[in-house]
Every structure is written in structure tokens, then in C-alpha cells.
Amino acid sequence: MSNITLHTLTARKQAGEKFAVLTAYDSCFAHLVSEAGNEMILVGDSLGMVLQGNDSTLPVSVEEMAYHTACVARGNQGSMIMADLPFMSYATPAQAMENAAALMAAGAHIIKIEGTAWLAETISLLAERGIPACAHLGLTPQAVNKLGGYKVQGRDRESARQMIEDAVLLEQSGASMLLLECVPSLLAREVTEAVDIPVIGIGAGSDTDAQVLVLHDMLGLTPGRRPKFVKNFMEENDTVQDALKAYADAVRDGTFPGPEHGFE
């Protein structure tokens, strides 16, 4: 796979071609995920739960994110790397600049940041300084305590309208991508159609431009109850490599996610 860039993925949106995103946190899995044809690797602060055993993403530090981003960069075979800015690492624009620069220096090609319209100034300043940003809307795990748990967002008319407005504003402010988590499928389609930048979905139906899953979830490795939006790709494949490729192919041909993976 030739190196994937923002231009590559924006062109795919314009052409109506979907792309696949998976998390990875180390060199070995970064190599496998990218070789399987997944266009983007997310170094997620989900590592706080799947690697560290915490009950949320909140304890993860910038230093830990930079370490795992560097590991992923060493194993990557041409995928675009996106890295999360962790909890309270972008409370002010100055803080966001410093910490985003650390992740970019570690090997990220774009950073992901959770929040709504209040992020507009920060995203604009990042863009001016050559740091692409993906704005994460909907269920934002870093705000789980304020949201009252891991709940679907945007189900009422007012919050749905606000999410669309926030998406448009953040694109105008310089966001290069959006990520929608746990929002009704119809709303996700409306957001995707409202912006020209690529929209990645997780628990957001099949009409977004891309899908992302946590690696451990789609390989059936995560203990406990499986979220509704997850499919275990190991159930139909003999090897990890086959499962990773099957996921990428299913996202691109539109067979994943199915209606059973979305929310109304």
C-alpha cells in the first residue's frame, strides 16, 4: 500500500469510496493492520482500558500516548496514523499546541481531539501551525462522567441539530476530519452529508465515509459484554491477518457495519 495521506482520504470521500480504520498500540500490530490494507491506524487513548486495565481512558498521559505512537510509527507500512490527545491535555490552546506537537514528533500524521464548538479556536490554531486535527463528536469517552455513562448521543431533535452545527463549524475552523461515536445512524448520515471532510464512524451506522473499531474488540479479545456496534471478525477467519483484511474489505464494500450494529 502506498502512503495514505489526508489528500488520499478526502479524495475517497469525494468519490464515494469508504476506508477502514483500526486501533493499534505497538509495532507488531501496526505492521499487521497496515499490511492488511487498513488505510488509517488510530493510536487511541483506549489503550488505557485495553492495555492498562483502567475502567476509563482518563488516566492516560501525553507521555504514554507519545510512546505508543512512536511504537506504531516504527511498524507502520503506509497507513495514516492518528493519535489521541488524552484527557485534559488540550484544556487551553497553548496546552493543545504543545501536546499535539509531541504526538506529531512521535510519528502521528493527525491528532484527534474530543469536544464541540468550544474547540473551534484550538483547531484553527493547530491548522495554522500545520497540525491536522480530527474532531470527535457524539459520545466522547473523556467526558463520560459528565455524560452520565456510555450513552448514545443526539437522539433528540435539539441535540441532533446542535451536532450538525458543531460539525460544520469545526470544519470551517480547520478540522481535517470528524469522528462520530454512538450517534443515531440517520444523524450520522446527515452530518456526513453536511461536511466536505471525511467522517469516521463507530456505532454511527453505515453512511459515514469510514469505520473504526478497537483492535481488541474486533478480534474478540476484550473480556465482558461486546458493544452493539462491534463485530468479531475472528469468528469467520482462521488467522489474525485474515481477520484484519476481512474487516478492511467489509468496510470498503459496505457490508460492515450492518443495520444490527447501528442505533436509531
Residue pair 107/71 in contact by the 8 Å Cβ criterion: no
User: Which of the following is catalytic: 39, 171, 181, 190?
Assistant: 181
The answer to whether 46 is annotated as binding is: yes
Residue pair 84/45 in contact by the 8 Å Cβ criterion: yes
The answer to whether 61 is annotated as binding is: no
- Scored b (16 or more CB within 10 A) or e, 158-181 reads eebeebbebbebbbebbbbbbbbb
CA distance 78 to 75: 9
112 grid coordinates = 484527534
CA distance 151 to 141: 10
Is 165 annotated as catalytic? no
Amino acid found at 163: M
Residue 212 Cα distances to 91, 96, 135, angstroms: 26, 24, 14
How many residues belong to the chain?
Answer: 264
The answer to whether 171 is annotated as binding is: no
160 grid coordinates = 441532533
Residues annotated catalytic, as ranges = 181
Question: Which residues are annotated as part of the binding site for 3-methyl-2-oxobutanoate?
Answer: 45-46, 84, 112
Question: Which residues are annotated as part of the binding site for Mg(2+)?
Answer: 45, 84, 114
Question: Which residues are annotated as part of the binding site?
Answer: 45-46, 84, 112, 114
